[in-house]
Each structure stands twice: as C-alpha cells, then as structure tokens.
Amino acid sequence: MTTAPATAPARSAAPAIVTVPARKPRRPAGLLAISLLVAALLAVPLVFLLIESGRAGYATVASQVFRSLTATLLWNTVRLTVAVTAACAVIGTGAAWLVERTDLPGRRLWAVLLVIPLAIPDFVVSFGWASLFTWMQGFRGAFIVMTLAVYPLVYLPVAASLRSADPGQEEVARSLGVGRVATFVRITLGQARGAILGGCLLVALVLLAEFGAFEMLSYQTFTTEIFTNLGLPTEVPAACALSLILVAISLVVLAGEGLLRGGGRVARSGPMTPRITLPLRLGAGRVPALLGVLVLIGLALGVPIGASIYWIFQGGVPSVSDSVSVSMADAAWHTALYGAGAAALDTLLALPVAVLAIRHSGKARHFLERSTYLVLAMPGVVIALALTYFSEQYLSGAGYQTAPLLVLCYTIMFFPLALVGVKAAIARAPADLDDVARSLGHRKLAAFGRITLRLAAPGLVAAFCLVFLEVVTELTATLILVPTGVQTLATQFWQYQSSLSYAQAAPFALVMIAVAAVPTIVLGRFFDRTRQAQG
Amino acid sequence: MKQLAVTGLHKAFGSHPVLTGVDLDVPAGSFTAILGPSGSGKTTLLRLLAGFDQADAGTISLGDRVVDRPGLHLPPERRQLGYVPQEGALFPHLTITANVGFGLRGKDRRGPRVAELLESVGLAGLGGRYPHQLSGGQQQRVALARALAIQPEVVLLDEPFASLDAHMRASVRADVQQICKAAGTTAILVTHDQDEALSMADSIAVLRDGKIVQYAAPQEIYTRPADPDLARFVGDANLLDGLIADVSAGTRPAGPAAGTGASEQPAAVDTILGRLPVEPAAAAGLLPGPVTVLIRPEQLELGPLGGPTDEPGCLAGRVVACEYYGHDAVVRVQPDGGAAGQQIIVRTTGGPQLPPGSAVSVRARGAVLAWTRS
C-alpha cells in the first residue's frame, strides 16, 4: 500500500553535483558586428577570385582548366603532397614517440633540435641542398627538401599529445597481454591520432602553397604556374582558373581531415595528476634509434646551416661587403616593420572573434568563427593575386605594391594562426572573473582589460610572435606585393640566389634562421605549458 | 525592512523558459537561501540579481532603488552587490591584497581597510600571497572579503562551498555565516544542498521549474513542506498512501502530541501504520478520500523485537539494510506482505545493530502531514 518511498539524496550523497548552467548572455551585438566585418575582410580574396572568373566567362575558364598542362600540374601537385605528407607522418610521429616515450639518450636536447627546422624557411632548406648538390632537382629533390623542411609540423603536435596523454593506458594494454608493437599501434597511435591528422593537414596545406623551394628545384606545381602567369596581363583568366583549382584541392584536404578526424576524441579518465612513468626501454634498439634521430637532425638542420656557412667562407675572407650590410639592415628593418604591423593587426582582429567563439556559444557564431578558417585553403599566391587584381579593378592600381596592401595580405593569410593562439589565450581567462570585476564596480571594458586581457597577455604575445615569424619567412606573396624599391630579408635573399650570388645570399639565410629560431623555441615552450595547464 | 524585492521575474533563453514569475522579498540583514535542484534556474536568478543578465519581464529592487524593470537595466558595476562565485574565482594574477582591494579606489587598495577585511576573515598576514598558494577554504574567505570590501548591502553567494571537501565545508560555512552577520550584510545563498540551506539560512526559498514554490523558515520547510516533491527534496521522506478517516471517529491511536488543544475534532488518516492524526494546521484543505501522507524517518520508531506486532498502528517487517552514521542510523524495512521495493525508512538513535533479515515492528509517533491526491 505504500507509494514509492523515495529518499532525497541526503547525507549519503554528500559529494555535491556542481551545476554547470547553460550560460547564454544577451546577444553580444557589438562583438557580432565586428566579427562579421573581420569575416567579410577575410572573404575578400575568395569572393574576388569568383567574380573575376565569372567576368572571364565559363568558356575561357574551362579552356584554361581542361588542357594538358592542368593535368601535369595536378599530377605533380598531388603526388608530391601525398608523398611528403606520408613521409612527414611517419618521421614526425616516430621521432615524437622516441623522444617522449622511450629512454633515448639525450632526448631533452633532441626535443629542441628537432623543432628548429620549422624556423628555417623552406626556400632556405632548398637553397642549402640545391646549391651543394646539383642532383637535387625535380620530384626527388622536392620530396627530400620538403620532407626535411616541414616534418616538425607533425612532430610538434604529436609530441605534445603524447606528453599529455595518459601513459597508464599503455601499461594497462601491456598488462592485458598485448605486445609492445600492438600496444603502439592500438593505444599510442590512437592517442596521437588527432595530432597526427592535424599535423598532416598543415603539411599538405604548406605543400599546396609552396613556391620558392619548387622554383629553385625546377618542380612545377599549381603555385609556381600561377606565379609565372602573374606577370602577364593577358593571362589573368589562366591565373584565376588555376587558383580556383588550387583552392578546390585545399578545400578537399580540409574537408578530408575533418572527416578522418570524425568523433575520435582522446579522453582521459581520472584526475589530471601528473604521473611518473618509466620510459620504454629501447634495449638493443637504442643505437639505431639514436642514429636515426641524429641523421634526421643533420639533414634537416645541418645541411641548410652548413651550406650557408660554407658559401659565406667560399669567397676566402669572410668579409661582408658594405653594400651587403647596408642592404641587410634595410631589409631587416622593413621585414620587422611589416611583420609587426601584420602581427598586431591579426592579434587585434582575432580578439573579438575569439571572445565570441569562447564566451558566446551558438550555431551562427560557431559558423562565423569556422568560416575564417577558409583562409587556410587560400595559398599566399592566390591571396596576393586576388588583392593585386582587386587594386587594379577597383582602385585603378592604387595600393598595388604598397606597404598597406602587403600588410593586409599578410594579415589575411595568417589570421587563422593568430585566431588559434588568441582563442587558447582567451580560454585561459574564465568569464566568471570578468563578472566578479563588474560586480566590484568596474565597467565592462575596464573589467575585460584588467582581467581577461591581463590573463590572456602571454597567449596574445605568442600569437603575435607566431604571425611575425610567418611574415619573416614568407616569400611568395612578398615577391608579388613588396613595395617598389624595397627589399625584405626574403626578397633580397631571393634576388641574390636567383643570380647565383650564393655568397651574398647566405648571410640573409642565416639571419632569417636566427630571427625565426628564437620565437620558435619560445612558442614551443608556451604551447607546451598551455597544454599542460589545460590538460 | 525589505532589502531586496523581486516581482514577476521572467527569463527565457531562446524558447526555453528558465524563470517563470519569481516573487521574493528578502528582509534586511537576513541570511536567505535559494534552494533548488540542478536546472531549476537558481543560477539564472542570481545572475539577474547581480545584473550579468537582463530579465525578460518583472522588476528587481535593491532597498528603494529599482535596478531592473522593462526598459531599465542597471549594469552590475552600479548595483553594489557583493558576488562570491563558485570556487571563489579569485584573480589568479593578483596578490590576495590586490584581490581584496580590487573594488576599492586609489589609495584604499593598499590601505588599512584591506588589512581589516583580511583580518575579519581570519587571513591576516597572507596579503602578499597569490591565490594558488591558499587552500580552497582560504580562497573562499578571500572571495568573501573581496565582495565585502565595497560595503555591499547584499552579498550573493553562488554555491560557494560545493568545491570544498566535506570536512572543510562545515567550518567555512559557519565562518561565512558569522562574517556576514558581523558585517550586517544581507546574504543570499544559492545552493542545491538542502543540508546547507537548512543549517545556514534564516529562511529558504525553494525554486522549482522557474518558480518559488515555498518561502519559509528552515523548520517550516522541513516539517511543513508545500507538497510531496518538496518534502522529498529537503530530506528523507516516507510518502505513504492514506485515506482520510471519518473525522467523527473518536478512536485515536497513540500519539500524545496530536490534536492537543484543538477545539475541533482533529482529522485522522488511515495508513499501513494504522490511523494517524493529521497536523491540525495542515488538515484544513483536506478533502475526504485518498491522500499522500508524509512521515519523516525520525517520526518512526522500531518496536521491540519479537514483541506483539498485531496491535493497531504497528507494522511488522524485515530489515533490508542498515546504514550506520555514528550519530544515528537509517534502517530500511520491508513491510511483511508489501510489494518488493516499497520500503519504509526509519531513523534511529542508538539501539542494537540490526542485521538484514531481522524481524522488526515499526510504529509512528506524532501527527503527520497529508495532501489530497489529485
């Protein structure tokens, strides 16, 4: 006769359930408006490309697309992208596993050295190889050079994910009777899956956008062909058509990565207490493993740096002529100026989009944020080309090859990079803290400035450095848009090496490596810390 | 005097209504708990009070100032409400002194006021440290000192003790209560923990499905809950089927407290525990017919083992489980002949350990509550 004698969770259920309320504050109209403007700015190149192609007419574009050259370019581009991406996946993952999970001797040092090739521009790596070995040409040369230049794009995220993943899972697998190799395949690779895919995506996008290295190695891809067509006003439809194909391939890569990633999420159960686990003992495999890492570092780091030093001393007395040192100072100044301008602009523009994405969830806002990643599918040469034609069509050539247009081009190109960094930074500052500051009598913007900006500052600096670094080592768009009479480090280097003045080019190569290496190491540490702090 | 007055407050997120007409008057200097399960809208209510969100309809007044009504929204920085969020939310890049002084102006930020506040929460001398160097309980105290620094008339506490371990929670609760009383501040505590609300608050407003379903003193909430769901929410409850007995029937079972001094014939209800008197004050609205009867576990006692179980008001059964808490024990009894799962909860103090399967008898003491079933 009793009804269900339910009991409230009284003292027996002491561990409180922390409620996480679905917080949807008022429509952030201002933020939304600014973010829309940013998204519109980023869409300019793509929209313009479509308009220009439409102006040329379907027949013209089709005649450009469906010809034998396109097939050759497609074959060259795709086979190199696939081959290098696969090689980078294997080398990057293998190196990361050796450094993070085994007792490889000297692995702390290798962890730093393995990342540095990221700081060496691809065209400097190819300069190192091509200037020393004449057989480094065509597919073979492009494959070796690009693999050595970009494998850190896989190494870095995989190493970070292995570091934060729970080694206990591997121990459990072993205790369940799964062997060492099977454990690596079933557990370790599974943990690093997202990082490997993300790294491969970056590698593929870099390959699609690369110009300098391929030009030097006489390897023809879409990007080099677009660049060649640029100089000829009659070839505008051709350049547009090729750009559209290139963007389409990039979109396929982006979508493919999204599909492959799917729902595979690396979860970690239990509290995030740091665990000390013994690294895997390599035993007899130590020597070959160590040799492998040393050879990799030697080829990726030693050859470009060694070649540069070799060419400086080639003239006998290492005397840097006055003209070189003057042009160097001038080029460095302009590089720094453009880099700082684009970096500051990107960090600033990414801020509202990041705040919107992190603090105000919603489908439309999510879409807005994701749309900015479309820029990733736009190689620098395409963005530069679109901006060039844009200034020709609508500004009657004003702005073309001026500093503002160049900085704008950098800003569009590297916005997604800045956004990733700024989002990570904003995520470190809980919105709750702003609320508290407001309840203590501070206005909205004051609270944001004193709390969120202050807490996000290290991440904002990191985002700034990341963009700056990219600008310093950018060649393709710079060659197209650099103001008349001005040289940056990259263009000056390019000019010298094009005229086979290797002794003059080499110092520029070394300066670019030095300028880029420091931020790379700092950034590596920052993202490492962020990852550990966030879990 | 009313310190905080809320009338007809509505808030929806998209098509999902969260608050559907909240009315609440909080007297000055009181310690009021807003108690509700997850998803009841209590955090939304708090955020509306603080001014972080804007209500769709209704008004909020602080003292004699209207701070929120259609067409008017005073931003949080002009409401002068103290706000202590979950887990304290101290500014991690600032020292304790800078945290406490954050809402003060100019020189006051490092002045004696900050030191006084730190002393009042028992943390004198720790001003130079950073939040991560303090324990969870200390962080909560700093968060309270920071909120009190701007001399707010009302302090809002958003589940501030949820992240503390059970041991620490009791002492921090007592401290917070005492500090608020000493400062003369009106405190509003949002919590889903009924023990916390019952032990700390002068009065409790129970929020359910976007409405306040009962607003009363803790004793009233516990002994006279507005409906069976609420009874279950604020503590262990036996909710039994009953039938209102003919009020003219004179026979009353044991229960000296029942109906004493009542001029009218007291109502009684028939249950599996026999005929029980209904609280006179609660009997007014009852219609003859089936009712739901509330008997708190501590209103039941276990009869002598092996004693007579066939006398009226005595229910025979077997022990299913016995949870021992030290100060008391909760015994679950399966009535003989009842369907499986329909257990009766009895709270006993002392007494022998009862292994599962022991035969016992259960008897009710005192008057009970009943609600007509619809």
pLDDT in 10s for each residue of chain A, 535 residues: 344 444 333 333 333 333 334 444 456 788 888 988 999 999 888 888 888 888 877 887 788 778 888 889 999 999 999 999 999 999 999 999 999 888 899 888 898 889 888 888 899 999 999 988 888 889 999 999 999 999 999 998 898 888 877 766 777 777 777 777 787 888 888 888 888 988 898 899 889 988 889 999 999 998 888 888 876 666 777 788 888 888 888 888 888 877 776 544 444 444 444 445 567 778 888 899 999 999 999 999 999 999 989 988 876 555 556 666 778 888 999 999 999 999 999 999 999 998 988 888 777 777 777 777 778 878 888 899 888 888 887 777 777 888 999 999 999 999 988 988 888 888 888 888 888 999 888 888 898 998 998 888 888 888 898 899 889 989 999 999 999 889 999 999 999 988 888 888 888 998 888 887 777 776 666 655 554 444 3
Instruction: Note the residue count of chain A.
Output: 535
Nearest to A435 among B52, B80, B166 (CB): B52
Identify residue B268 by its one-letter amino acid code.
A
Asked casually if ipTM beats, i.e. exceeds, 0.90, the reply is: no
- List of chain B residues whose C-beta atoms are within 8 Å of the C-beta of residue A24: 13-14
How high does pLDDT run on average in chain B? 85
Nearest to B162 among A6, A12, A16 (CB): A16
Residues B292, A3: C-beta atoms closer than 8 Å: yes
Nearest to A455 among B75, B92, B103 (CB): B92
Residues A19, B150: C-beta atoms closer than 8 Å: no
Q: Please tell me the predicted confidence (pLDDT) of residue A398.
A: 76
Residues B39, A19: C-beta atoms closer than 8 Å: yes
| Residues above pLDDT 90, as percent of chain B | 32
Cβ–Cβ < 8 Å for B207, B42: yes
How far is A343 from A415, CA to CA, in rounded Å?
Answer: 9
Instruction: Give the distance from residue A364's alpha carbon to the nearest chain B alpha carbon, in angstroms.
Output: 14
Q: Which residue of A has its CA nearest to B14?
A: A24
**Tokens describing residue A207:** 């390959």
Q: Which residue of A has its CA nearest to B46?
A: A21
How far is A147 from A162, CA to CA, in rounded Å?
Answer: 22
How far is B290 from B283, CA to CA, in rounded Å?
Answer: 14
Phi-psi region of B259 (alpha: psi -120 to 50; beta: other; left: phi over 0): left
Q: Which residue has the tokens 């259960």?
A: B362
Name the nearest CA neighbour of B204 among B24, B11, B20, B3. Answer: B24
Residues in Cβ contact with A409 at an 8 Å cutoff, skipping those fewer than 6 apart: A380, A383, A384, A387, A477, A481
Q: Are strands B300-302 and B290-295 parallel, antiparallel or unpaired?
A: unpaired
* pLDDT, tens digit, 9 for 90 and up, residues B208-245: 989 999 999 999 999 999 999 999 999 889 998 888 87
Judged by DSSP in three states, A517 sits in helix
Instruction: Give the distance from residue B261's alpha carbon to the nearest chain A alpha carbon, in angstroms.
Output: 31
Residues A454, B149: C-beta atoms closer than 8 Å: no
Lowest average pLDDT, out of A358-362, A410-414, B160-164, B291-295, goes to A358-362
Phi, psi of A522 (to 5 degrees): -60, -45
How far is B331 from B343, CA to CA, in rounded Å?
Answer: 10
Environment class of residue B316 by beta-carbon count within 10 Å: exposed (0-12), middle (13-18) or buried (19+)? middle
Cβ–Cβ < 8 Å for A441, B83: no
Half-sphere exposure of residue B153, counting CA atoms within 13 Å on the CB side?
A: 16
**Tokens describing residue A148:** 């050595």
Q: Please tell me the predicted confidence (pLDDT) of residue B253.
A: 44
Which of the listed ranges B92-101, B247-256, B296-305 does the model predict with the highest average pLDDT?
B92-101
Q: Does A186 touch chain B (CB under 8 A)?
A: no
Sign of CA dihedral B238, B241, B247, B253: negative
Task: Band the pLDDT of B11: cuts 50, 70, 90.
Answer: very high
A1, A432, A448: which to substitute to probe chain B, counting the most B Cβ within 10 Å?
Answer: A1
B52, B105, B172, B188: which to substitute to probe chain A, counting the most A Cβ within 10 Å?
Answer: B52
Residues B103, A11: C-beta atoms closer than 8 Å: no
* pLDDT, tens digit, 9 for 90 and up, residues A328-346: 888 999 999 999 999 999 9
How far is A173 from A186, CA to CA, in rounded Å?
Answer: 9
Name the nearest CA neighbour of B326 among B350, B292, B308. Answer: B350
The alpha carbon of A92 is separated from its chain's Cα centroid by a whole number of angstroms, namely 15
Name the nearest CA neighbour of A347 among A453, A431, A432, A445. Answer: A453
| Residues above pLDDT 70, as percent of chain A | 85
Q: Which residue of B has its CA nearest to A451?
A: B91
Phi, psi of A389 (to 5 degrees): -65, -35
Cβ–Cβ < 8 Å for A415, A342: no
Q: Does A4 touch chain B (CB under 8 A)?
A: yes
Name the nearest CA neighbour of B92 among B141, B132, B136, B147. Answer: B132
Q: Please tell me the predicted confidence (pLDDT) of residue B265.
A: 56
Q: Does A29 touch chain B (CB under 8 A)?
A: no
SS3 content of chain A, % helix, strand, coil (to 5): 75, 0, 20
What is the CA angle B293-B299-B301, rounded to 5? 120
Task: Band the pLDDT of B339: cuts 50, 70, 90.
Answer: low
How far is B4 from B66, CA to CA, in rounded Å?
Answer: 10
**Cα dist. B104→A445, A448, B52, B115, B360 in Å?**
17, 17, 20, 13, 64
Residues in Cβ contact with A155 at an 8 Å cutoff, skipping those fewer than 6 apart: A91, A92, A93, A95, A96, A114, A115, A199
Name the nearest CA neighbour of B193 among B170, B226, B209. Answer: B170
Q: Please tell me the predicted confidence (pLDDT) of residue A296.
A: 95
Residues B83, A436: C-beta atoms closer than 8 Å: yes
More confident residue, B97 or B366: B97
Q: Which residue of B has its CA nearest to A4?
A: B342
**Tokens describing residue A484:** 């008349």
* pLDDT, tens digit, 9 for 90 and up, residues A189-199: 888 888 898 88
How far is B131 from B327, CA to CA, in rounded Å?
Answer: 37
Residues B240, A5: C-beta atoms closer than 8 Å: yes
Q: Please tell me the predicted confidence (pLDDT) of residue A466.
A: 84
Instruction: Give the distance from residue B1's alpha carbon to the nearest chain A alpha carbon, in angstroms.
Output: 24
Instruction: Give the distance from residue B306's alpha carbon to the nearest chain A alpha carbon, in angstroms.
Output: 23
Output the pTM of the full model: 0.75
- Does pLDDT of B101 surpass 80? yes
